[in-house]
Chains A and B, each alone.
Chain A
Amino acid sequence: MFSVPLPLASGEREEILKIVGDILKNHAANRENLIPILQQVQAKLGYLPGPAMEKIAAASGVPAVDLYGLATFYNQFRLHPPGKHRVNVCMGTACYMAGGRIALDSFERRLKIKEGETTPDRNFSLERVACVGCCTMAPVVVVDDKVEGRVTPTRVDGILLECGASNGAAGEAPAAENTPAGREQAEGAQRS
């Protein structure tokens, strides 16, 4: 589930250490504050990079391996950077029964990644969440903190298009069904 962290760009490490340093200034680095500190680092950076963990470990005197234990025990924490757009598919009971799995499959197919992964261009990351508490809107997908209810495979394409559009990026257009071979074949068959 936790892949090897990507190499950092130049200057990124210093930036990370600065942000972590700022957060550590506001907290006593004791064991009880570890989770809130990790939460704040993740809120700022989107994930917990290696240098951040090492710095927190050094400041709190807690062995880095323990910190790694915490970060991997709790579902909230991630050790790899999220995509620009974060797709969280709810897998609560109601969502699962209403087709959450179908929605997840559709995202996996369109984005060509598996749950827990980020697209190589870092545009999208895909995750499943336990339950976001909107069971009556099942199946639910949370995209960049926006809750989408009753998500069908068709809506999945719509969501990805909206993200692509609002992004202004010409990147890979997820909707590939405009000129499917099947349709050409169909037209050919009808002409003949």
Chain B
Amino acid sequence: MTAAAIEAQYAGLQKQAVAKTAVQKSKPLVRVGTATCGVAAGAIPVKEAFEKEIGSRGLDARVVEAGCMGHCYAEPLVVIDKPGFAPLCYGSVDGDLARRLVADFLAGDDPCYEFALAALEPNDVFPTFSEFPRGVCEEKIILERCGFIDPEAIDDYIARDGYAALAKALALPPEEVLAEIKAANLRGRGGAGFPAGVKWEAARGAGDGVKYVICNADEGDPGAFMDRSILESDPHQVIEGMIICAYCVGAAEGWLYIRAEYPRAVERIHTAIRQAREKGLLGQSILGSGFAFDLRVFQGSGAFVCGEETALVSSMEGKMGMPQTRPPFMAQSGFRGRPTVLNNVKTFSYVPHIVSRGADWFKGTGTPGTPGTAVFSLVGKVSHTGLVEVPMGTTLRRLIFDVGEGIPGGKKFKAAQIGGPSGGCLPEAALDVPIDFDSLRQAGAIMGSGGLVVLDEDDCMVAVARFFLEFTRHESCGKCTFCRLGTKHMLDILTEITGGRGNPASLEVLRELAEDVQAGSLCNLGRTAPNPILTTLRYFRDEYDAHIFEGRCPALMCKELIAYYILPKKCSKLCDACVGSCPVEAIFTRADGLKEIDQQKCVKCDNCRKACPPEHDAVVKLSPPSLLSGKEGVPK
């Protein structure tokens, strides 16, 4: 079939899609963000409130579900697109606001600007997201459509030039498409940064037999959720990237390996696959080109190590997910012993954009070593949490203080934990490093999958390191001795330190163990597991020392090293908020009417400190607990 015929078939599809969406555009449209994060914030009742109110007023307006726009701090988000107005986005919507928006905006003509967060298109009345401080830093490629299209309507995607890149690719010889991906130097976004084009070329060169394309959506890093968000918000982008990859390498079957913890993503990808099949974008002779490819979904069962490609494939084959030695590389012998290309969700997401706009356009963004953008899930102690996409080479400082708008509550920044359990904690001094795969590795962290957790002065770095070790110890598959036993031993040492039983010699043992585990493990889980320890030892040694030598947790976080105390000078006789809040009845009222904590009973749950009204602010944490002795009312 000729190139012109493929293009013509696509043009037909697009014409239909545009016509369909145009009809819909003539009516007011309410889009409710119902990705997992939106649902958690209460998006479903909000959607129902809109539907009910619109129904009871007999209005002609549609309510649809959309994905995640990345502004997670303001969930649930709602976009109202009414003809005659710029589309407006409202944040932190609840049932009452929903009813009011229907009454005033949909039924009337008052857009309630006082509740609007931003407009989505430039206009004379209201600022857009791109005029926000973060809008200036951001450059969206793979998140561009997220939240703006209905993930369960393929026409929305096609109307916005979705699958155009596929049509373009199918009209070209596969070598040419592959050359473009290679020229773009697209590096795998799963964490290691291996050039996707090189991987694809190897698989292409591995004979003419059966080959597989697998999308790794086993996003296991605690603190990272961009893969989930992309699958839930723009699933067709990933599918399109996978089809183009399959065309390049000559594969007829593809799999999406999605974690079981993401039921919504699984559901939406199933819908997307079904719709793509109906449109002839998957299956026999895609777009009439003669090229056949189809997709299936495999649900992972919760094992962090399965993010590693050989372990992932073992798991798909019905075995325990243990990594295998390489070579043979996946491109030669992967799933079912056949040549296999395995890339991350984000990597596949870039592919249609590169094919559409060319390698040179892609290389115009980012750093020379790592072109393109980086997606971070910005969470923790930062004002504007959410998903952000910035050009590679942006500094962490810009990311945290401009995009994230700094640390809330006037607290002081302490560290940025980047790259999850395999990454590290970087201090203030490292914030000005332009981030890409190589610069982060030099700083001792890794890009990983892009989880970025901001920590402030209330977070204990030893406890953070211990948290990650607890995670890797649990997730170690047990194949390599160093990883299996080393992580356990390191965790034990850290538990002792955070428990105030640290031994001055243990830091040296810890460092030695960390280096041995790095050297003696087969896969990256073990090789990177010590990173959180090594970086915190390198940048926050003073905190380890405080725990070991003074029995003090500087961040007042480690339970065994703190005590709660009610300041008699600040406590009010007229208030007993803390008494009612204590789950273990450890707080009592003294004869003089002031409150006191029974230290034997206290479980250090922090309830009383939260319950104490700000005008009194009488509950404090003390570390080391020995500070209590000599305080009024505390037995010696």
Binding site for B on A (CB under 8 A): 30-36, 38-39, 69-70, 73-77, 91-99, 102, 105-106, 109-110, 129-138, 140, 145, 147-149, 152-154, 157, 176-177, 180-183, 185-186, 189-190, 192
A74 touches B261 (CB 8 A): no
Within the assembled complex, what's the spacing in Å between the Cα atoms of A75 and B464? 22
Contact A105 B417 (CB under 8 A): no
Task: Report which of B301, B386, B420, B586 forms a contact with A76, defined as CB distance below 8 A.
Answer: B301
Is chain A's binding surface mostly helix, strand, loop or mixed? helix
Max chain B C-beta neighbours (<10 A), residue from A36, A140, A186: A186
Which B residues, 540 to 599, have Cβ-Cβ distances below 8 Å to chain A? 576, 579-591, 593
**Beta-carbon contact of B303 and A73 below 8 Å:** yes
Q: How far is the CA of A107 from the CA of B585 in the complex (A)?
A: 16
Smallest Cβ distance from B560 to chain A, in angstroms?
Answer: 13
**Which of B36-44, B102-110, B236-244 lies at the interface with chain A?**
B36-44
**A153 x B260 contact (CB < 8 A):** no
| Count of chain B residues near A, Cβ 8 A | 73
Q: Are A182 and B582 in contact (CB under 8 A)?
A: yes
* A48 CB, nearest partner CB in chain B, Å: 11
Would A31 and B318 count as touching, CB distance under 8 A? yes
Residues in chain B near residue A186, CB distance under 8 A: 576, 579, 588-589
Q: Is the CB of A93 within 8 A of B451?
A: yes
Q: Given A35-B315, A73-B320, A189-B590, A154 and B36 touching (CB < 8 A)?
A: no
**Are A109 and B583 CB-contacts (below 8 A) given A97-B453, A137-B40, A182-B588?**
yes
User: Would you give the 0/1 interface string for B468-500, flagging 1 where the beta carbon is closer than 8 Å to chain A?
Assistant: 100100010100000000000000000000000
Q: Is the CB of B222 within 8 A of A138?
A: no
Q: Check B189 for interface membership: any CB of A closer than 8 A.
A: no
- Which residues does chain A contribute within 8 Å of B459, judged by CB atoms? 97
Closest to A188 in B: B589
Do B380 and A32 touch (CB < 8 A)?
no
Residue B247 at the A interface, CB < 8 A? no
Q: Evaluate contact between B302 and A75: CB separation under 8 angstroms.
A: yes
In the complex the two chains form, is B41's CB within 8 Å of A137's CB? yes
Indicate if the CB atoms of B319 and A31 lie closer than 8 Å.
Answer: yes
Indicate if B126 sits at the interface (CB-CB under 8 A): no
Please, what's the 1-or-0 string for B39-59, where 1 marks a CB less than 8 Å from any CB in chain A? 111000000000000000000
List the B side residues contacting A35 at CB < 8 Å. 298-299, 301, 315, 318
Q: Which 10 A-B pairs have the closest CB atoms?
A: A186-B589, A92-B222, A75-B302, A133-B225, A74-B301, A147-B40, A93-B223, A136-B72, A136-B385, A131-B222
- Asked whether A183 lies within 8 Å of B40 as measured between CB atoms, the reply is no
CB-nearest residue of chain B to A109:
B583
List B contacts of A73 (CB < 8 A): 303, 320-321, 477
| Contact bitstring B166-192, A, C-beta under 8 A = 1, else 0 | 000000000000000000000000000
Distance in Å from the Cβ of B53 to the closest Cβ of chain A? Answer: 23
With both beta carbons as reference points, the residue of chain A lying nearest to B320 in the complex is identified as: A73
Within 8 A of A (CB), among B118-160: none
A33 touching B318, Cβ below 8 Å: yes
B584 lies within 8 A of A109 (CB): yes
* Shortest Cβ gap from B406 to chain A (Å): 16
- Within the complex, the shortest CB–CB distance from A87 to chain B, in Å, comes to 15
- Is B260 within 8 A of A39, CB to CB? yes
Structural contact, A181 and B605, CB atoms closer than 8 A: no
Question: Is B318's CB under 8 angstroms from A131's CB?
Answer: no
Residues of A within 8 A of B41 (CB): 137, 149
Q: Is B606 an interface residue (CB 8 A)?
A: yes
Contact of A185 among B225, B299, B464, B588 (CB under 8 A): B588
CB pairs A–B below 8 angstroms (25 shown): A38-B301, A39-B299, A74-B302, A75-B301, A76-B302, A92-B223, A93-B464, A93-B468, A94-B380, A97-B380, A97-B464, A105-B605, A130-B304, A131-B225, A132-B36, A134-B225, A135-B225, A135-B377, A135-B380, A136-B37, A136-B75, A148-B40, A152-B610, A153-B583, A182-B589
Distance in Å: Cβ of B596 to nearest Cβ of chain A: 10
Contacts of B298 in A (CB 8 A): 35-36
Q: How far is the CB of B416 from chain A (nearest CB, A)?
A: 12
Residue of B nearest to A152 (CB): B610
- Does A149 contact B605, Cβ atoms closer than 8 Å? no
State the CA gap A102–B420 with chains docked (Å): 21
Given contacts A36-B299, A182-B579, A182-B582, 14 further A-B contacts (CB under 8 A): A32-B317, A76-B302, A93-B222, A93-B467, A96-B222, A106-B605, A130-B220, A131-B221, A137-B75, A147-B40, A180-B585, A183-B579, A183-B580, A190-B589
